[in-house]
Structure 1
Amino acid sequence: MIDAHIHADTRAYEDFENMAVAGVEKAISCAHDPLQMSTSDVLFDHFNRILENDTKRAANNGLKLYVALGIHPRSISPDFEVVLDKLPELLKNKIVVAIGEIGLEKASKSEKNVFKRQLELAQDLKRNVIVHTPRTNKRDITKVTIAMLEENIDPSLVQIDHIDNSIVDLVIDSEWVLGLTVQPQKMTTDKAVTMLGEYGFDKFVLDSDISSSPSDPLSVPKTVHKLKLAGFNERDIEMVSNKNAADFYGI
């Protein structure tokens, strides 16, 4: 199994062992907003923590951790240009598989500028992106996000995340990879199973988005277990829990 979106820097050492024991072999840890990003140096320290510390903590427990680096909409420092200038060099690291997580939180002018710049960079470098959708005002802001994606990047490079029943109709006919975030306060395992039963398995990947918010590091294997109990075939379960993410990220 692959957990396609986590925040390893906020999790205890033991979570990685529990994930590996439950059958999660790989995960993608995304940059986010664990601190007030008052300067670019704080964000670079955050990147370094994921790249150097968390990958080792995960590996010591049998979990292969890949990384996505980018400017989250809640972590835009006043000198964000410094980060944008440095990103191409950081993306050369072989364990960095995407720019992320990026996107919009409130769709402010600053957020839209930073999001567009990162989409343009991803398009120029032909790099995948992991795109955030917010909890608040989710549908309206997702519509703005969709418009910006359609204007600025090849859809084959996009994973749009935190898909739920409030926005699935907006994205289901797209070419994007769709991230189902199975997490307390976002989506239960039962709701994930229902959505997959309704919309199919071809476009979706599973993720836990474990962070400092209420989270379950075992939500991906628990969803797989529920899919098996519901009678879905092994091919479809393998697709949503492993193959789709493996193909998208080349891992």
Structure 2
Amino acid sequence: MIDAHIHADCRPYEDFKNMAVAGIESALTLAHDPLRMSTSAVVLDHFYRILENDFKRAAENGLTLKAALGLHPRSICQDYKLVLRKLPWFLDQDLVIALGEIGLETASNLEREVFRIQLEMANELGMKVAVHTPRKNKREVTIKTLSIIEGNIDPSLVVVDHVDPSIIDLMADFEGMMGVTVQPQKMTPTEAVEMLEKTFGEYGPERFMLDSDMSSSPSDPLSVPKTVHALKMAGWDDKKIDMLSCKNAAQFYGL
């Protein structure tokens, strides 16, 4: 299994062992806003923390970790342009395989500009991108998010994450991947199975990947294995379950 979206810097050492014991072999940790990101120095130190600490903690427990780095919409500091200038260097590091987590939170003009710049950067580099969708005003903001994606990057490079029943219909014309986040206060394993059963016929099993988005918010490091169990109990065949919980993410990110 692969957990396609976590924030390892917020999690205790023991979580990585529990994930590995439950059958998760690898995970992608993404940049976000663990602190008050008041200056570029804080944001860049966050990037360095991911590169210098979290891979070792995961590896010591048998979990292979890769990273996505980028300027999260809640991390846009006053001197954000310095972060954007330095970002290509970080993206060139061996363990960094994607740009993210980026996107819109409130869809302010500044957020949209920073989002567009990073999409163009990823498109130029041919790099995969993990795109955030917010909890509040989710549908309205996602409509704007998809519009910006359409005009600035090849959608085959993009996974739109935290897709739930409130926005799944908006993905009809989107040609990229969709992340299904199973997390307390977002979606339960049972709710994820129900959504997938209703939409598989339209979108196909190759378009989805599972993740926990475990962070400082209420989280469950075992949400991917629990969702796999729920899929088995619902009668899904092993091939489709493997696509959702491993193969799709492995192929998309090159894990």
Equivalent of residue 249 in structure 1, options 243, 247, 253: 253
Query: In 1, Cα distance between the equivalents of 2:161 and 2:12?
Result: 24
Structure 2 gaps, min length 5: none
Q: Residues 146 and 174 of structure 2 are in contact (CA less than 8 Å); yes or no, is this contact kept in structure 1?
A: no
Query: In 1, Cα distance between the equivalents of 2:74 and 2:195?
Result: 29
Superposed counterparts of 1:196-207, under 5 Å: 196-200=196-200, 201-207=205-211
Find out whether 1:45 has 2:45 as its counterpart. Answer: yes
Q: Which amino acid aligns with 1:108?
A: S
* Post-superposition offset of 1:92: 1.1
* Post-superposition offset of 1:38: 1.2
Query: In 2, Cα distance between the equivalents of 1:166 and 1:107?
Result: 18
1:187 matched to which residue of 2? 187
2:241 matched to which residue of 1? 237
Equivalent of residue 224 in structure 1, options 228, 231, 255: 228
* Post-superposition offset of 1:32: 0.2
Q: Secondary structure at the match of 1:195?
A: helix
Query: In 2, Cα distance between the equivalents of 1:173 and 1:185?
Result: 28
* Post-superposition offset of 1:81: 0.9
Q: Which amino acid aligns with 1:120?
A: E
2:140 matched to which residue of 1? 140
Query: In 1, Cα distance between the equivalents of 2:102 and 2:45?
Result: 18
Query: In 2, Cα distance between the equivalents of 1:108 and 1:75?
Result: 13
* Post-superposition offset of 1:173: 3.9
1:129 matched to which residue of 2? 129
Q: Secondary structure at the match of 2:76?
A: coil
Moved more, 142-151 or 90-99: 90-99
What RMSD over aligned residues (CA atoms) do the two structures have, in Å?
0.7
Superposed counterparts of 1:40-79, under 5 Å: 40-79=40-79
Query: In 1, Cα distance between the equivalents of 2:91 and 2:80?
Result: 16
Query: In 1, Cα distance between the equivalents of 2:8 and 2:236?
Result: 30
Q: Secondary structure at the match of 2:73?
A: coil
Query: In 2, Cα distance between the equivalents of 1:24 and 1:91?
Result: 25
Identity of aligned residues (%): 63
Q: Secondary structure at the match of 2:166?
A: coil
* Post-superposition offset of 1:172: 3.8
Query: In 1, Cα distance between the equivalents of 2:173 and 2:119?
Result: 21
* Post-superposition offset of 1:176: 1.0
Find out whether 1:212 has 2:216 as its counterpart. Answer: yes
Query: In 2, Cα distance between the equivalents of 1:227 and 1:93?
Result: 36
1:10 matched to which residue of 2? 10
2:151 matched to which residue of 1? 151
- Spell out, residue by residue over 1:38-67, the C-alpha distance to the aligned partner (whole angstroms, 9 max, x if none): 111111110111111011100000000000
Find out whether 1:161 has 2:165 as its counterpart. Answer: no
- Which is richer in helix? 2
Query: In 1, Cα distance between the equivalents of 2:89 and 2:69?
Result: 11
Query: In 1, Cα distance between the equivalents of 2:213 and 2:186?
Result: 10
Q: Secondary structure at the match of 2:219?
A: coil
Q: Which amino acid aligns with 2:101?
A: E
